[in-house]
Amino acid sequence: MTGTLLQGSSLRRLRLVVAIAVVVALVTLPAYGGQYTLTTFIRTFYFGFLALSVGLLLGQGGMISLTQTAFFGISGYVVGLLGAERGFPFPLPELAGLALVAVVALLFALVVMRTHGIVFLMLTLALGQICWSFARQNTSLLHGWAGIPDIQPPSIFGVDLTQNANFYWMSLALFSLGLLFLWRLVQSPFGLALNGIRESPRRMSALGYPVFWLRVAVFVIAAIYAGVGGILAAWSSGIVTPTALQLSRMIWILLIVILGGSQYFWGPVVGAVIAVWLDVIVSQLTPRYNTVIGIVFVVVILLAPNGILGVWERITAKRRALRQVPAAPPDSNQ
Amino acid sequence: MPSPDQKRAIVTRQVSKTFGGVKAVKGVDLSIAVGERRALIGPNGAGKSTLFNLITGDVPVDGGEIHVLGRDVTRFSVERRARLGLGRTYQISQLFLNLSVEQNLFLSSAAATGIGLNLLSRWRDRSEDRAWTRDVAEQVGLTEHLFRPVAELAHGLQRQLELGMALAMRPRLIMLDEPAAGLSPAERQTLVRLIRAMAPDITLILIEHDMDIVMELAQRITVLHRGSVVTEGTPDEIRRDPMVQRIYLGEMHV
């Protein structure tokens, strides 16, 4: 019995040590990582926000939305329009961007949240495509395919975010905050109610929950996550184009959430880290990197329908079971 | 003639519903007193489930009125009717399969107390709801399964949780849709015992094919046939009624 207890606590201690090591490694990254590594991590953070957005809806609420890249694009465009083109100072364009994201998300939610399943999927696809088409075809305001260039990250409290290291730290801090808020949200009664809607919306109605409004609320929250990612992306890349809203990117994000494990809190994060780095590494090796990455996705999803974290859980559960079986008999004798 | 006064849990007046040309429910008048234990019986296709769904709001009426606890709820959504204290169970379980028993009951409890707008509070810190959740779990015999995922529970335990879900929301009236479906004789006895132990002020409406359970639980029985009320009475009256025997009991070979 003392054996298993020790093992249990040592596992926990190991996990704590790994967590601290990861945090230290991430915080000190600018000291030893190159510019390219920093930029790739920044990409991970802004696509990570998009993945959290998709993961919140899918993992917690059981909804596959194909609109999320639209919110990523909307906030980016507002930052470009108001910041780069009209010279409004930080944080006005950014707040306006998030406000517009919230308003559009609310309007969209009022349309789609009475539907479920395939109808929901098709409606969110249509809404996402409307936003994308508008960005692509509007030349007077959004400049069509050319997009809006010359977007600069601001200085916040005297910290110059055009410095790559500063930008990295800011993104890391923002992403950590986003994770922390989400961590609390999924443990709140609201988070549990979302799980209830995922499992049985009919029962939730019969219990008296305002299912429609709960779904509307989580859609707006998820949209804001996508919007924050969009602002970081616009700042980091310096340009916003219709590519930000493209369906292929939406599918990519959906795949990385499933790759990581949509029902796990860390699933979207794990998926985003792996997918972004896979992109970087494979594209250095072969120009056909999209084919390779596609094959990786197919293989992982075939072999591990619950994603990488699902595999991890299966392995650790097996190990725990193996450890407990021989430990049981001496226990019962004592 | 029933009147929608405060002493009535459910009053329906000339309620009807047609599905694709078939009149599933035809001008049904019901009047169920607060605290009454009422069973709806009738052969398959009699309109029991449709009438049930009309009362809960799952299906909108074509005509007539429905009053719940003195309020006209004819145009109310499922959710608003639930908030008046109308609890129900489902013939085919509608449980949150990937959540624990405790989380299932908590969601039912918090439906009545409100989940609040604080997105950063923890559901685990809601000690009053959790205490009530444990009470209900004990009441329906699920205390030792509190932390297990519902998907792992045996069918009989899931039926007990169905009942627990309806009880945890602190209902004033409870509608049970074939609660014993698929249960073994021993499990049926457990379920009957649990239902009998329910607080006497909770009104109970029951659809059940098992006549032993109906006779044991119901104070009054309404017999439906082809969408209409054929007769209504105490279990003894219904058992003796020759027409009931002809249209229903005969078919069921009781």
Q: Tell if the CB–CB gap between A187 and B56 is shorter than 8 Å.
A: no
* Predicted pLDDT of residue A8: 64
Beta strands B22-33; B86-88: pairing state: unpaired
Mean pLDDT on B239-252: 73
Q: CA B11 → CA B33, B52, B67, B113, B229, distances in Å?
A: 9, 13, 5, 27, 14
Q: What are the start-end ranges of the H helices in chain B? A: 48-56, 78-83, 101-113, 127-139, 155-168, 185-196, 211-217, 235-240, 242-244, 250-252
Burial (CB < 10 A; 0-12, 13-18, 19+), residue A168, is buried
| Chain A interface residues (partner B, CB cutoff 8 A) | 181, 184-185, 187-193, 195-196, 199-200, 202-211, 221, 263
User: The tokens of B61 are what?
Assistant: 């009426």
Mean pLDDT value of segment B31-59:
92
Q: What are phi and psi of A132, to 5 degrees?
A: -65, -45
Residue where a domain terminates, one of B171, B189, B223: B171
Same domain for B177 and B53? yes
pLDDT number for residue B248? 64
Shortest distance, CA A200 to any CA of chain B (angstroms): 6
Grouping H, G, I as helix, E, B as strand and the rest as coil, residue B152 is: helix
| Domain presence at residue B112 | yes
Number of compact structural domains in chain B: 2
Q: Could you tell me the residue range of the domain that residue B151 belongs to?
A: 95-171
The 3-class SS string of A128-150 reads HHHHHHHHHHCCCCCCHHHCECC
Task: Name the 3-class secondary structure at B12.
Answer: strand
The pair of structure tokens assigned to A96 is 């306006």
Among A110, A82, A127, smallest CA distance to A245 is for: A127
Residue B157 lies in a domain: yes
Single residue among B171, B193, B227 that ends a domain in this structure = B171
Residues B118, B67 share a domain: no
Give, in order, the Cα–Cα distances in Å from A11 to each of A3, A15, A23: 12, 6, 18
- Does the beta-carbon distance from A192 to B107 stay under 8 Å? yes
pLDDT of residue A298: 87
Q: Provide the ipTM.
A: 0.89
Domain co-membership, B166 together with B142: yes
Q: Is residue B55 within 8 Å of B68, Cβ to Cβ?
A: yes
Give residue B195's pLDDT band: very low, low, confident or very high (50, 70, 90). Answer: very high
What amino acid occupies position A112? V
The pLDDT, as a whole number, for residue A320 is: 67
Domain identity same for B166 and B181: no
Q: Is residue B250 a part of any domain in this protein?
A: yes
Reduced DSSP (H G I as helix, E B as strand, rest coil) percent helix, strand, coil of chain A, to 5: 80, 0, 20
B3 plus B117 within the same structural domain: no
Q: How far is B123 from chain A (nearest CA, A)?
A: 5
Task: Enumerate the residues of chain B whose CB falls inside 8 A of the CB of residue A187.
Answer: 122-124
Neighbours of B74 (CB within 10 A): 18
**Taking 70 as the threshold, does the pLDDT of residue B6 lie above it?**
no
**pLDDT tier for residue B249 given thresholds of 50, 70 and 90:** low
Is B88's Cβ below 8 Å from some Cβ in A? yes
Q: Are residues B99 and B72 part of one domain?
A: no
Q: Which of B88, B96, B111 sits opposite A200 (nearest CB)?
A: B96
CB neighbour class for A325 (10 Å; exposed up to 12, middle 13-18, buried from 19): exposed
Domain C-terminal end among B171, B206, B238:
B171
Of B179, B101, B107, nearest in space to B142 by CA: B101
Q: Residue B90 domain-assigned? A: no
**Chain B residue numbers touching A60 (CB-CB < 8 A):** none
Of A85, A299, A80, A112, which Cα lies nearest the Cα of A223? A112
Q: Are residues B3 and B128 in the same domain?
A: no
Inter-chain touch A206–B78, beta carbons under 8 Å: yes
Give percent of chain B above pLDDT 90. 74
| Low-confidence spans in chain A with pLDDT less than 50 | 1-5, 325-334
Task: State whether B134 and B178 are in the same domain.
Answer: no
**Do residue B119 and residue A195 have CB atoms under 8 angstroms apart?**
no
pLDDT score, position B3? 47
pLDDT 10s digits, B208-217: 988 899 999 9
- Which secondary structure element, helix H or strand E, spans residue B13, and what is its range? strand B8-19
In angstroms, the CA A294 to CA A216 distance is 33
Is the distance from CB of B49 to CB of B107 less than 8 angstroms?
no
